[in-house]
Every structure is written in C-alpha cells, then in structure tokens.
Amino acid sequence: MTLATQHSTGPVDAPVAPPKVLRQRRTRPGLLGLAVLLIALGGLGAAFAVTSVRATGSYLAVARPVEVGRVLGADDLVPVQVAGGQGLAPVPAARIRDVVGKRAAVSLVPGTLLTMGQLTEAPLLGPGQQQLSLGLPPSRVPARKLHPGDKVLLVATPAKNDDGAARATTRFPGTVIDTYTPKSGDVVVYLALTTRDVPAVVALAAQDRVALVLTEAA
C-alpha cells in the first residue's frame, strides 16, 4: 500500500487581529492647578531659605548678668550669629562702641540679644539730688549685695545717751548708685539723696547712727 502526502506551500488564509487603539487620557484641570501650586510653593520655599541665609549677621548678646543702672562694659557682651531676625532690632556687633558706657535701663539676662531700648544714658543722679557715700557694717546693710537702682530708706538709730523718750524716727529715702566692699569689711554704699537731706544724713553718719532699709529692688 502506497501512502501519498500533499504538502501545501501556498499562503494560508487566517483572521488578522485589529490594531489596538490607545485611548487618550483626559487632563483634569484640578490636578494641573495643584501641580502649578506645588511648584510655586517650592519656589517660595527656596526663596525664603536664600533670604534667611542672606539675613544672617553678627549681633551683640548679653554674656553675663547686668543689673539695672550698671554701666555696660565690653566684657558684658559677646557677638553671636543670628539668621533672619524678623521683628527684632538687635544691635549689630560692629556697633559695640556705641553701647559700651551706657547704663542698663532693665536687667539684662545672659543669652539674650541686646537692643538699644534696653539701654539709657540718663544718670541715676536726678535733678535736685546729690551723691553721698556711707560706710556701713554688714549688719546694717539689708542685702548681701545692693544693686544700682535699688530704693532704700536711711533710718536714724538712737543715740548712745538716748533716755528712751518717745520720738519720731527720722527717715530719708534714697537710691543706690553703686556699692564697694573694701578689705576692712565695711560696705561702702553710694547713694542719691535729696539735696535737703544730705546735711542731716552726714551728721548722723558721723555719729554712726544710720541704718539702711531696702524698700524696692531694681
């Protein structure tokens, strides 16, 4: 038996798949606006960072406590680098000569920036006042350390030959300008007193009859 096979070399008809058509995506206006907003915010953030860096400068800060009324020295200040500083008015470090020698109008705290509003050129000795110094033993001084601007009251103590008769105690208000403690142990207090009270206080001090009372701390 003979088997015969037929080989076809011609084209074969077959169904052809149609090409796929890609659907175009619709652009949403909301997303586009959001993208624009994000880009704008990024630009503003970069601009703010650049501005802050450019605003960095050297300013004066308080290095140690300074009491009210004390004269400011160069050792009381230290230059610091500050970036930005919007809303502040610190004194530039280059102006240190403009502030040294001025008095502190308020108590200056270490680590804070110095401003011109914290300083004054007004002396503690006001009109109608005179300066007086008193050397007092520590037992007659109301605090371990008095500060410029402290309000005090000078009280006349009884004389040694006082017979105990009732009398009105004499008082003289004053303001502390400065203090000094020599090696002798007594405390020297420099006071601003009303001119009319100075002669009486000098006379009492000569008799060692003055005590100091602190009425208001600066």
Q: Is residue 112 part of a domain?
A: yes
CATH number for the domain harbouring residue 85: 3.90.1210.10
pLDDT value for 196: 94
Percent of the chain with pLDDT over 70: 68
The pTM of the full predicted model, rounded to 2 decimals, is 0.54
Domain check: are 69 and 104 in the same one?
yes
Q: Is residue 138 part of a domain?
A: yes
Q: Is residue 39 part of a domain?
A: no
Domain check: are 115 and 146 in the same one?
no
Burial of residue 174 (CB within 10 Å: 0-12, 13-18, 19+) is buried
Domain check: are 151 and 82 in the same one?
no
CATH number for the domain harbouring residue 198: 2.40.30
DSSP, collapsed to helix, strand or coil, labels residue 94 as: helix
The answer to whether 119 touches 103, Cβ cutoff 8 Å, is: yes
Q: How far apart are CA 199 and CA 154, in angstroms?
A: 13
**163: Cβ contacts below 8 Å, ≥ 6 apart:** none
Q: Is residue 2 part of a domain?
A: no
Q: Is residue 14 part of a domain?
A: no
Q: Which residue has the higher pLDDT, 131 or 21?
A: 131
Q: 20-42 burial string, b = 16+ CB within 10 Å, else e?
A: eeeeeeeeeeeeeeeeeeeeeee
Domain check: are 207 and 158 in the same one?
yes
What does the pLDDT look like over 121-133, one tens digit per residue? Answer: 877 778 898 989 8
Domain check: are 69 and 146 in the same one?
no
Beta-carbon-side half-sphere exposure of residue 166 (alpha carbons within 13 Å)? 0
Q: Is residue 193 part of a domain?
A: yes
Domain check: are 155 and 85 in the same one?
no
Overall average pLDDT of the 50-79 stretch:
81
Please tell me the total count of domains within the chain: 2
Domain check: are 91 and 110 in the same one?
yes
Last residue of a domain, one of 71, 101, 120: 120
At position 138, the amino acid (one-letter code) is P
Domain check: are 158 and 186 in the same one?
yes
What does the pLDDT look like over 151-190, one tens digit per residue? Answer: 999 998 887 776 554 455 689 999 988 888 877 778 889 8
- Would the pLDDT of 108 be above 60? yes
Domain check: are 136 and 111 in the same one?
no
Domain check: are 181 and 198 in the same one?
yes
Bridge partners, residue 90, by sequence: 115
Domain check: are 141 and 202 in the same one?
yes
Q: Is residue 73 part of a domain?
A: yes
Q: Structural domain of residue 187, as residue ranges?
A: 129-216
Q: Where are the alpha helices (DSSP H) in 26-113?
A: 29-54, 96-99
Token match 């033993």: residue? 137
Q: How far apart are CA 68 and CA 6, in angstroms?
A: 120
